[in-house]
Amino acid sequence: MQILMVLTSHDKLGNTGRPTGFWLEEFAAPYFVFRDAGVDLTLASPKGGQPPIDPKSDLPENQTPAMARFKQDPLAQKALANTVNLAGVRAEDYDTVFYPGGHGPMWDLAESPVSIALLESFYNSGKPIALVCHAPGALRHVKFEGAPLVKGRRVSGFTNEEEEEVQLTRVVPFLVEDEMKRLGAIFEKVPNWQPFSITDGRLITGQNPASSTSAARALLKRRRVARQNRAHRHLEEPGTGPSPRQAAQRRGRRAGRPQGARGRTASGFRLSDRIVSLLGGAARPQRFCPRAVWRELHYRGVAG
């Protein structure tokens, strides 16, 4: 599985003169959820290179096990220091995408035509997308079938109460909760700083930093479901299954298959009496590997 993680490149907290960026926990926790699942990860940001870490996210009171692990992991640190430029990323090269939050995305990713087009490309191609904390704000201009993607969908994100608690209500360009509601989303939340994520179809959103792990796990689960559904649809699409002749032959073989002794090839592949009889009975089934059996039946006009 190939997962793209998109981080902010914005490092200025409005007009306050203070720095901002992405929230370290919201990157570290999903990163290790994905890596431990054997996922191939690509990290991207609008400017490429090292994205800015919000220094507040690295204060002693905000430390988490995932952050501690990140600081001891040279491979993770190198990956973060060398994000690719978002402009060179294509949705068709990945199975899904995850957006960590922090206040930075509200300034650059929310307004970036590249990010907007990328999210639309992922979603329009049937792939799930996940965004956590402030990152759902990056959906404010994303459309699906001509309407806001979040319209009528259950979503979460950094709440008005949480923004008020960190005293940035009048600093951020918009409030995530208010913006989602304005766009017609069904905004859901739990008490401040509690983990909470929502899966609505192919859209996964998390409320705050504590929701990063559950959102990442939900994305992995949704991706597995999407792949299974696609495989099922592929089998049912016209032209992708057996031909009418092959289907009729298979039905006939199943209907006429007797119960009883089985022949066995050298490789251990079991042959029914029906197949043995179709081979003419003269040839010993032990002399055939499975592929040879199929080829012989094909030549006899039995297999499609």
pLDDT digits (tens, 9 = 90+) for 243-273: 565 556 556 655 554 444 444 444 444 445 5
CA dist 95 and 81 (Å) reads: 23
Strands 203-206 and 84-85: unpaired
- Stretch 16-42: mean pLDDT: 98
pLDDT at 226: 66
In the chain, % of residues over pLDDT 70: 74
Q: Over range 136-154, report the average pLDDT.
A: 98
As annotated, the residues of the chain forming the CATH 3.40.50.880 domain(s) are 2-236
Task: Please report which confidence band the pLDDT of residue 1 belongs to, taking 50, 70 and 90 as the band edges.
Answer: very high
CA distance 114 to 108: 10
First to last CA, the chain: 33
Give the pLDDT score at 166: 98
What pLDDT is stored for residue 264 in this prediction?
Answer: 44
Please tell me the distance from the alpha carbon of residue 205 to that of residue 212, in angstroms, as a whole number. Answer: 9
Name the residue with tokens 């490092």. 11
What confidence tier does 279 reach under pLDDT thresholds 50, 70, 90?
low
How far apart, in Å, are the Cα atoms of 98 and each of 27, 102, 130, 242, 268? 9, 13, 5, 38, 45
Alpha carbons 247 and 254: distance in angstroms, whole number? 11
Tokens of 93: 């090269």
Q: Is the pTM of this model over 0.85?
A: no
Q: What is the DSSP string of the chain?
A: -EEEEE-----B-TTSS-B--B-HHHHHHHHHHHHHTT-EEEEEESS-BSPPBPGGGGSGGG--HHHHHHHT-HHHHHHHHTBEEGGG--GGG-SEEEE--SSGGGTTTTT-HHHHHHHHHHHHTT--EEEETTGGGGGTT-EETTEETTTTSEE--S-HHHHHHTT-TTTSSS-HHHHHHHTT-EE---STT---EEEETTEEEESSGGGHHHHHHHHHHHHHHHHHHHHHHHHHSTTTS--HHHHHHHHHHHHHPPPS-EEE-TT--EEEHHHHHHTTSSS-GGG--HHHHHHHHHHTT---
State the pLDDT at residue 225. 78
- Segment 80-111, tens digit of pLDDT: 999 999 999 999 999 999 999 999 999 999 99
> Which of 62-76, 150-164, 234-248 is predicted with the least confidence, judged by mean pLDDT?
234-248
Dihedral sign, Cα of residue 162, residue 166, residue 132, residue 60: negative
> What letter represents residue 94's amino acid?
Y
Candidates 111, 55, 58; CA nearest to 86 is 111
- What is the architecture of the domain spanning 2-236? 3-Layer(aba) Sandwich (3.40)
